[in-house]
Amino acid sequence: MTLRIGIIGCGGIGQEHARRLHFKLAGAQVVAINDINLAAATQFSEMSGIQARVLDSHQAVIDAPDVDALVVASWGPAHEEQVLACIKAGKPVFCEKPLAVTAEGARRIVDAEVQAGKKLVQVGFMRRYDAGYRALKATLDAGTVGDALLVHAAHRNPAVPEMYVGDMSITDTFIHEIDVFRWLLNDDYVSVQVIEGRKTRNAHAGLHDPITVLLETRQGIRIDTEIYVACRFGYDIQCHVVGETGVASLPEPMSVPLRSNARQGSGILMDWKLRFIDSYDVELQDWIEATVRGEVNGPDAWDGYVASVTAEACIEARKTKQILPIALPERPAFYARQG
């Protein structure tokens, strides 16, 4: 079966996903596209060679009888309405993060999906599909270093644009760690503290950088994460899990070690897309195959909701400079925990 896909949102990530689904991955075809900029969507459809129909609204794409499943890659504030419309139509949807821009909005999606009685929503947290993270999780699940006690992590970018301001270091950057730590540790969070230290001179006026986020889980695991988005030296993702009998670390991306000009070392990537490009392929191929089977195999609406609740708690902790609780309701049985 070929999964016929409609794309809602034809910006950078929407275009990348459309090309990936139509030309690179098995079992999918992009048949319809919508974007707030219809002219740009038309140009992309024609110049990319996809030749999908460009429809005048997201609802038209959802309602199209030849569209089996949707990819929502539009502006974040539009996600809630569009995902709810997919649920109402009974069509599977892959939604890029965030699921919604507020925890309340994400909860409405959860409630709608539970009421519909069938899991339809997957959220685009692609780190779960990264080979390095999967190897790290396999090591932890096998008990190779005993029970996890501490996690030391870092999310570093060489630079961010002027429009990246305020709490985007949490909502756009740390949101990936929020999801992947829960998955790695099979645990949920109970408290958070955010610390602002000395600001780098490389950060622009609207951004305090770096910051440190301290999380505690239900099992008592302590997680510290450095978020430094103007580090200049590269795109650098670190994760070191301290267990009872050893330390398990996220593997570095493959690069050629060099000994040259009296120096020894290896390169560091500068572009996040290069660091995780293979993960997007694995993620969407898995979504295609699971959707054909009538399943959701990846991060679901509940995961998107928990990420939103946690992000909002992080933002409030940053404002108040206090250690704050993260209050989560019990996971509905509808969302049985996946491995």
Between CA 193 and CA 91 the distance in angstroms is 39
Query: What are the tens digits of pLDDT across the range 51-80?
Result: 999 999 999 999 999 999 999 999 999 999
Query: Cβ distance 177 to 156 under 8 Å?
Result: no
Calculate the average pLDDT of the chain: 95
| Domain annotation for the chain: domains and CATH numbers | 3-123 (3.40.50.720), 130-274+305-335 (3.30.360.10)
Query: What are the tens digits of pLDDT across the range 226-262?
Result: 999 999 999 999 999 999 999 999 999 888 888 999 9
Between CA 76 and CA 11 the distance in angstroms is 12
Query: What are the tens digits of pLDDT across the range 133-188?
Result: 999 999 999 999 999 999 999 999 999 999 999 999 999 999 999 999 999 999 99
DSSP E strand stretches across the chain: 3-8, 28-34, 53-54, 69-72, 93-95, 121-123, 148-156, 189-196, 211-217, 222-228, 236-243, 247-249, 258-260, 263-265, 324-325
* Residue closest to 339 by CA, chosen among 204, 151, 138: 138
Residue 1 predicted with pLDDT over 90: no
pLDDT at 339: 43
Q: Is the pTM of this model over 0.75?
A: yes
